[in-house]
Amino acid sequence: GLRNSGGPLARRHGTRHHLGLPPVRRGAAGRLDDAALSLRRILELATNRAAIVAHARTLPALEKVLADPGLADLLR
**Residue 1 in domain:** no
**Residue 2 in domain:** no
Domain extent, residue 54, equals 8-75
Residue 40's pLDDT is: 73
Residue 4's pLDDT is: 47
**Residue 55 in domain:** yes
**Residue 28 in domain:** yes
**Residue 3 in domain:** no
- What is the gyration radius of the CA atoms in the chain, in angstroms? 12
Angle, vertex CA 75, rays to CA 71 and CA 76, nearest 5: 115
Tens of pLDDT along the chain (76 residues) come to: 455 455 554 445 556 666 666 665 555 555 666 677 677 777 676 656 666 666 555 566 667 767 777 766 666 6
Question: CA–CA separation, 76 vs 70, rounded Å?
Answer: 10
Question: CA–CA separation, 19 vs 66, rounded Å?
Answer: 15
**Residue 56 in domain:** yes
pTM assigned to the model: 0.20
Residue 63's pLDDT is: 72
Residue 74's pLDDT is: 66
